[in-house]
């Protein structure tokens, strides 16, 4: 059987990688929305704003498996690592010992489970709860997702600059009135996806959520990437003596691409960071980065069938974490689309 023509809507990291995986598998993939006239007025999307933290460990086993496979692909391919702007800084993932996500059996080359006091001694974190425990991964760090997206776009044979105006059944109508048809349509439009589906009359459980971080001077180097589940604080090095720092936002159903910064959240980040990181300069170096991602339940970038259609899917739901899973998730999604397209067995979204 001839490989299908697949229309992929949205040129963020998810759509670009999915189109590339499909193309590599011999399908005709057309990536829609690669031009300058994006709804975000440029690349003002989650991929452009992303902090890019990547590691293998995640408390959730499904996310861990995708993150582990993605990191392995990155580490095995120096050209991919270069295209992604890979920086190996190490990664610390701190949890309370009572947390159900506390790891068992994650020890591998370059991976250690450390007690809270060891973390405090080795990395200078302050006032960690007594019962904290951390997964330390030496071969983890961060990428620049926007850079990886641009490299992937350069390798695509079929792109369509004009964005989609609307989804009409299994047909895509572009903003210039042209209509494109494919055997399959995948909406990979990140935080725009729920709105695009609803406008086309489809119900969806996908939602949007705000994400915000800012840069601070910390007065010392050599801090790794970290997630501290005991306080919510996450961060990564961002140049000499600088850290990117954030906390999860509580704002749901926010319009992309760039919501007003949340000053209350910025204050909470600072208060938490001053407890954990002695020597932090409380003045942010620039206004916060404020952006939106698409969230799913269960969380994670995955192919999901659109209820009520035979050939339409979404590939989104990164839930603030798809930079670290997109390599493996796009490979899985392409395989599912091509192998099982008469009966794709994927969850509804």
Ligand X SMILES: Cc1cc2nc3c(=O)[nH]c(=O)nc-3n(C[C@H](O)[C@H](O)[C@H](O)COP(=O)(O)OP(=O)(O)OC[C@H]3O[C@@H](n4cnc5c(N)ncnc54)[C@H](O)[C@@H]3O)c2cc1C
Q: How far is the CB of 29 from ligand X (least distance, A)?
A: 14
Given the rule CB under 6 A, which residues bind ligand X?
A: 9-15, 32-33, 38-40, 45-47, 49-53, 145, 163-164, 188-192, 196, 211, 289, 291, 293, 316, 318, 320-324
Q: How far apart are CA 82 and CA 214, in angstroms?
A: 25
E-strand spans in the chain? Answer: 5-9, 28-32, 53-54, 87-88, 91-96, 111-115, 132-137, 141-142, 159-160, 164-168, 171-174, 179-181, 184-187, 207-217, 225-228, 234-237, 242-246, 289-295, 302-305, 312-316
Q: Which is closer to ligand X, CB of 164 or CB of 280?
A: 164
Q: How far is the CB of 158 from ligand X (least distance, A)?
A: 14
Q: Which is closer to ligand X, CB of 18 or CB of 119?
A: 18
Q: Give the nearest residue (CB) to ligand X.
A: 12
Q: Which is closer to ligand X, CB of 190 or CB of 224?
A: 190
Q: How far is the CB of 130 from ligand X (least distance, A)?
A: 28
Q: Which is closer to ligand X, CB of 118 or CB of 162?
A: 162
Q: Which helix (H) or strand (E) holds 25?
A: none
Q: Which residues contact 247 (CB under 8 A, 6 or more apart)?
A: 231, 232, 233, 234, 265, 268, 269, 272
Q: How far is the CB of 40 from ligand X (least distance, A)?
A: 5
Q: How far is the CB of 108 from ligand X (least distance, A)?
A: 20
Q: How far apart are CA 292 and CA 312, in angstroms?
A: 24
Q: How far is the CB of 121 from ligand X (least distance, A)?
A: 26
Q: Which is closer to ligand X, CB of 45 or CB of 116?
A: 45
Q: Which is closer to ligand X, CB of 116 or CB of 207?
A: 207
Q: How far apart are CA 66 and CA 320, in angstroms?
A: 14
Say how many C-beta atoms besides its own lie within 10 A of residue 221's C-beta: 10
């Amino acid at each position: 059987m001839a490989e299908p023509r697949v229309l992929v809507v949205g040129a963020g990291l998810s759509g670009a990688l999915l189109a590339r995986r499909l193309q590599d598998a011999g399908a005709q993939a057309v990536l829609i929305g690669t031009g300058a006239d994006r709804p975000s007025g440029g690349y003002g999307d989650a991929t452009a704003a992303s902090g890019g933290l990547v590691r293998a460990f995640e408390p959730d086993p499904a996310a861990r498996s995708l993150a582990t496979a993605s990191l392995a692909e990155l580490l095995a391919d120096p050209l991919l690592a270069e295209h992604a702007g890979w920086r190996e800084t190490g990664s610390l993932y701190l949890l309370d010992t009572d947390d159900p996500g506390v790891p068992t059996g994650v020890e591998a080359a370059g991976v250690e489970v450390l007690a809270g006091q060891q973390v405090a001694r080795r990395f200078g974190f302050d006032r960690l709860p007594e019962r904290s425990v951390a997964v330390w991964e030496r071969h983890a760090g961060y990428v620049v997702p926007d850079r990886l997206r641009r490299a992937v776009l350069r390798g695509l044979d079929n792109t369509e600059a004009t964005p989609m105006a609307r989804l009409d059944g299994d047909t895509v109508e572009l903003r210039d009135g042209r209509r494109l048809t494919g055997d399959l349509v995948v909406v990979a439009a990140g935080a725009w996806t729920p709105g695009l589906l609803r406008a086309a009359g489809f119900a969806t459980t996908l939602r949007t959520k705000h994400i915000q971080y800012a840069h601070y001077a910390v007065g010392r180097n050599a801090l790794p990437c970290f997630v501290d589940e005991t306080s919510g604080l996450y961060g990564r090095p961002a140049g000499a003596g600088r850290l990117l720092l954030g906390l999860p936002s509580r704002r749901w159903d926010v319009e992309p691409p760039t919501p007003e910064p949340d000053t209350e959240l910025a204050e909470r980040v600072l208060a938490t960071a001053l407890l954990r990181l002695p020597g932090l300069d409380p003045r942010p170096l620039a206004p916060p980065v404020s952006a939106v991602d698409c969230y799913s339940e269960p969380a994670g970038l995955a192919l999901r069938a659109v209820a009520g259609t035979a050939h339409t899917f979404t590939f989104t739901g990164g839930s603030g974490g798809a930079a670290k899973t997109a390599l493996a998730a796009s490979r899985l999604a392409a395989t599912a689309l091509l192998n099982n397209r008469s009966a794709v067995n994927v969850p509804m979204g």
